[in-house]
Structure 1
Amino acid sequence: MYIIQKLINRFFVKNKLGIFSFTFFIVIFSSVVMQILEPKTFPRWFDALWYVMTTVTTVGYGDFYPVTVAGRMYAIFIFLVGIGIAGLAIGKLVEAMGAHRKRKEEGRLTFKGKNHFVIIGWSEKAKYAINEITETHPNLEVVLIDRLPVTPITHQNVHYIQGDPSIESTLIQANIEEAQSVLVFSDDSIHDSALADGKTLLIVTSVERLTPHIHSTVEIKREEHIKNFRHAKVDEFVLSHETVSRMAVRSAFSKGITGIYTQLLSHKEGENLFEVQKKAEWRTYKDAFDGLLEQGATLIADGNDLSINKKLNEAIPEDARLYIICSKDVYEALA
């Protein structure tokens, strides 16, 4: 008896594959047996399968039932064995789903998607960034990397990865090699700006070493550290403290200017900043400027170059990155 109990415990309690395989075998085998024993009651194999399934799941519609002694005897076997095995299989399935959900909440699953955004470092700034991404691009998936024990945010398009972002295995788990962009936020728990930037530099160095093609945007505490991040081939920089301070000073001298910043930084208010592709009919910047203006958009820059008004007659290069200011409706019409 002890040996039988050990075998049952090994193959049917702990072995999920064994449970599901045996359940499948019992259902199929019982369907074949019932059709052989009761050919008039179950003229088709599917009828026998339907009876077995409604029996082992304890639904029991009563539309089919055995009428011969042999059929009823085998039905007793299904009651005693099939129902128990099916219940165990369903329990294991529910348990597996719960374990999968727990692993996802704890950031233990590997992300398999492509062309996603990776955000490193959880903070209020990261929260606002994720909200901005999910609201402006509802279909874009975001992978958040941090060391929190469970995910700090619940959203169908946000996937959490728990781990050290400076370690290659964590970045691979986030499938960063197939991501289109990465945003690295500074660690607000580190009060020394040099140490905070040092940690950020270590992370972004790991990212750029693993995926040199990825577009990286990094939050930096001190402006003098930019040269170190340029050496690490970072694409964009955001100076957290200096940016806020400069905006405050400019608003003091130019009253109302913060409204312009707000419109450009948030999709919820006024006009927005968008990137558009160069059209074939736009040979010069003036062509693009006039064509966009007729549709309600204003061309303001090519990449980091804001001096469009000084070179309207120059030809637009093929690799130009044209930025415009317009409403979302106008941008969608242009696209």
Structure 2
Amino acid sequence: MNLFKFWQFYFHLPVLVRLLLTVLLTMFLFGITIHLIEPNHFPHIFDGIWWAFVTGSTVGYGDYVPLSTLGKVIAILLILTGGGLVTFYMATISASTINHENELSKGSITFKGKNHIIFVGWNERTKQLVKMITERDIREQIVLIDKTLSNLPYSKNTVHYIRGDASEDEVLEKANIKEAKYAIITSDPSKQERQADQTTILTTVAMKGNNPDLYIVSEILTKEQVTNATRAGANTVIRSNDFMSTLFFHELFRDTPVKPFDVLLEVLSSQQFEQLLLPNEMVGKTFLECSDHYVAKDFLLIGMINEEELKLNPSFDIKLKSGDILVGLSKLK
């Protein structure tokens, strides 16, 4: 009964583990056998095991050689069995490695990490985000969920790809949604605006339901769906159409030859937004005094959050209170 349980346990082990155990057991048996047959030439069991590994792997250093006829017969059997096992083991490792990378490229492998960022949708926006994170050496693990890609070469990207619909629990489980820290849901460019927004909202609901603590940034195209996205659980809603429309308007009706938005975007690409809790020494100071204080520290103050309300470019005379949060730009580190 105990032997049956052992074999049952053995055959439930992964293939690579079973092969490794078989190779080790074979080498140990041949090593002990040659020690018993030729104790003078192989005085210690380890000498026999060493000879078995060297011979079975076809390395053949020649420091130990069986002298008796029976010992040579054992060596022949070792070369035929042990050599084949070692070769098969190495070939299996190589095949498993290639197969694992292929499965990663196809988006079939479950992500096991924690505190990662989930991107939904593989498009120019997410490509640029991945590029920015990589170039700036921000050590955040990225999981991409997309149902349109047939594969995403793992060796050429720093993201873990999961193929499927991000609104489905099974797909979210593969992305380890419960251990994720942030999620960015981009709008599907292949759908009409209203339909794309509905998909974004549905994905937001699914993600929030699986991880209530997940910080979600959702891209919404139509103004009417912003409230619904917030209700669904989005912490931040990006209205990309409004932003692009503003850029187009100012580009059409600007009077100066300088392109202000090109300059602004270039500046922003070298800066990062930061939020700082107002320090005690700044309580009671004016926004202007606080701004002058942080300019010397290469931190450009552009606004504040007071009682959960964001105020950009507030009056310089406004008095800062304990609990206020400063919003500004700092140079990328």
Where on the TM-score scale, by shorter chain, does this alignment land: which range? 0.7 to 0.9
State how far apart, in whole Å, the 1-side matches of 2:319 and 2:261 are: 32
Matched with 2:328 is 324
Kindly indicate whether the alpha-carbon contact (under 8 Å) linking 2:120 and 2:145 is maintained by their aligned counterparts in 1.
yes
> Any idea what the Cα deviations from partners look like across 1:101-141, whole Å, max 9, x if unmatched?
22211111111111111000111111111112222343110
Equivalent pair of 1:264/1:272 in contact (CA under 8 Å): no
Number of the residue aligned with 1:315: 321
Contact 1:218 1:234 in 2 (8 A): yes
1:170 aligns with 2:176: no
Could you say what secondary structure the match of 1:305 adopts? strand
Change beyond 3 A, Cα 1:37–1:280: farther
Residues 181 and 216, structure 1, Cα contact 8 Å, conserved in 2:
yes
| Counterparts in 2 of 1:146 and 1:21: CA distance versus 1, 3 Å | same
The 3-state SS of whatever aligns with 1:84 is helix
List alignment gaps of at least 5 residues for structure 1: 1-10
Alpha-carbon displacement from aligned partner over 1:50-109 (angstroms, at most 9, x marks no partner): 322222222222232222333222111101211122222222222222222222111111
Distance 1:264 1:72 in 2: 77
Once residues 264 and 204 of structure 1 are traced to their aligned partners in structure 2, the CA distance between those partners, rounded to angstroms, is 32
Residue 293 of structure 1 pairs with residue 295 of structure 2: yes
Q: For 1:167 and 1:298, locate their aligned partners in 2 and report how far apart those are by CA, in whole Å.
A: 42
Q: What amino acid is aligned across from residue 329 of structure 2 in structure 1?
A: I
Aligned 8 A contact 2:282 2:320 in 1: no
Q: What is the CA RMSD across the aligned residues, in angstroms?
A: 2.6
Q: Contact between 2:230 and 2:237, CA under 8 Å: does it hold in 1? A: no
Contact 1:146 / 1:162 at 8 angstroms: preserved in 2? yes
Distance change (3 Å), C-alpha of 1:136 and 1:305 = farther
Matched residue, 2:261: 258
User: Equivalent pairs: percent with the same residue?
Assistant: 26
Residue pair 1:275, 1:323 contacting (<8 A) in 2 also: yes
Contact kept, 8 Å, 1:139 with 1:157, in 2: the verdict is no
Q: TM-score, normalised by structure 1?
A: 0.83
Within-5 A mapping of 1:265-304: 265-267=268-270, 271-276=271-276, 278-284=278-284, 286=286, 288-303=290-305, 304=310
Partner amino acid for 1:179? A
Q: Which of 304, 311, 314 does residue 305 from structure 1 map onto?
A: 311
Where 2:244 maps in the other structure, the secondary structure is helix
Partner of 2:8: none
TM-score normalised according to structure 2 size: 0.83
SS of the aligned residue for 2:126 comes to helix
